[in-house]
Amino acid sequence: MILKKFIRDILIIGILIAFIVLAQENLDSYTLSILKNIAIFAILALSYNLINGVAGQFSLEPNGFVAIGAYFTAILLIPPETKMDMFALVDPNPIVANAHMSFLPAIIIGGIAASLVALLLSFPVFRVRGDYLAIVTLGFGFIIRIFAINNPEFTNGAMGLNDIPEVANFTWIGIIAIITFVVMIHIVYSKFGRAMKSVRDDEDAATAMGINTFKMKTYAFMTSAFFEGIGGGLLASMLTTITPDQFSFLLTFQLLIIIVLGGLGSMSGTILATILVMGGMEMLRFLDEDITLFGHDFGAHPGLRMVVFSILLLLMMLFARKGLFGDKEIFDIIKRDKE
């Protein structure tokens, strides 16, 4: 049974990787940009769901960790001679000016940097719970953004970083998205995942059962931050330019919509919700352009796309109040239906 499940999983992963490679070679740039955007947001939403859905900690910090990963990766990818021409307000810090690495080490260091910040942040953050935790982590996102604006020797200030090498193609992004999903699923079904869920369901009872709740929350926080940092690095390389305004609370709000729609604690639901949210926003883009029906020109209505999209989200949430998959995985739903 275990061997059969292992072969099935390897086969599915192989098919997904083959699709990613073929898509990179055969699809047009516009379609690839949509797929890359979906894959990056899948990485971010999966990691965010670990701390928010699985561990049950109402955190609003993703934009801060994404920004850390994006800036670290961008600084390490941009050649030193390009940085000297780019930093117009002040000369770059010598460490920033001379730092240069290839793509894979750069995004890993971005993830590690975000994870270490999460470790330091966990000591004050997890002294509070609930709404207070949300307020503290929300403030962290603002602090990172203000730091990026007010320290131009590290980040080039409000002007941001440009000419970032576009190394993150769909092959890189897609494979990292698959790795993220596999890691998150293994965490959910591991003893650590069960401990995190017990903290989510009743922290006091988990403590009484001998679970170190602070340690479990910190593990979830650091793991989530690591993959959010990697997602930020991929985003920076895909866009080739970053500014502090890109990492506002709107980014966190988009991820919150995705994980709530997919189901708090459900990783497979998060993947489906990411496709619906990010793909749906592109599919409805025609609503912002000139609309002609039955020979009558209704003109262009900028913003109509978001109105229709919001109504569709509202309807979905009315009929699926716990999200598309609740807190279950698609494997559990299929197994239940077979029984």
Per-residue pLDDT 10s for the chain (339 aa) are 567 777 877 888 889 899 999 998 888 998 999 999 999 999 999 999 999 999 999 999 899 999 999 999 999 999 988 888 888 778 888 998 899 999 999 999 999 999 999 999 999 999 888 888 889 899 998 999 999 999 999 999 888 999 899 998 999 999 999 999 999 999 998 999 999 999 998 888 999 988 999 999 999 999 999 999 999 999 999 999 999 999 988 899 999 999 999 888 889 999 999 999 998 888 888 777 776 666 666 666 677 778 888 888 888 878 877 888 887 777 776 666 555
The CA-to-CA distance between both ends of the chain, in Å, stands at 16
Q: Is 208 exposed, middle or buried (0-12, 13-18, 19+ CB in 10 A)?
A: exposed
Structure tokens given for 135: 């307020």
Residue 336: other Cβ atoms inside 10 A: 9
With 0.75 as the threshold, say if the pTM is over it: yes
User: Using the 8-state DSSP alphabet, how is residue 91 labeled?
Assistant: P
Of 37, 276, 6, 39, nearest to 175 (Cα)? 39
Q: Which helix (H) or strand (E) holds 267?
A: helix 267-274
3-state DSSP call for residue 95? helix
Structure tokens given for 17: 């990787």
CB within 8 Å of 241: residues ≥ 6 apart? 160, 161, 162, 163, 164
Phi and psi, residue 278, nearest 5°: -70, -40
How high is the pLDDT of residue 238? 94
* Alpha carbon of residue 25 to chain centroid: 25
Q: Is 209 exposed, middle or buried (0-12, 13-18, 19+ CB in 10 A)?
A: exposed
Q: At CA 208, angle to CA 207 and CA 209, rounded to 5?
A: 90
107/236 Cα distance (integer angstroms): 10
Structure tokens given for 218: 């910190």
How high is the pLDDT of residue 292? 67
User: Using the 8-state DSSP alphabet, how is residue 61 labeled?
Assistant: -
How high is the pLDDT of residue 150? 92
Residue bearing tokens 């926080």 = 221
251/247 Cα distance (integer angstroms): 6
* Alpha carbon of residue 316 to chain centroid: 22
How high is the pLDDT of residue 12? 83
- Are 237 and 77 in contact by the 8 Å Cβ rule? The answer is yes
260/45 Cα distance (integer angstroms): 10
Q: Is 183 exposed, middle or buried (0-12, 13-18, 19+ CB in 10 A)?
A: middle
Of 222, 223, 203, nearest to 211 (Cα)? 203
| Helix, strand, coil percentages in the chain from 3-state DSSP, rounded to 5 | 75, 5, 20
Structure tokens given for 75: 């600084």
Of 301, 305, 282, 304, nearest to 290 (Cα)? 301
CB within 8 Å of 147: residues ≥ 6 apart? 155
How high is the pLDDT of residue 270? 93
Three-state SS sequence of 62-86: HHHHHHHHHHHHHHHHCCHHHHHHH
How high is the pLDDT of residue 49? 95
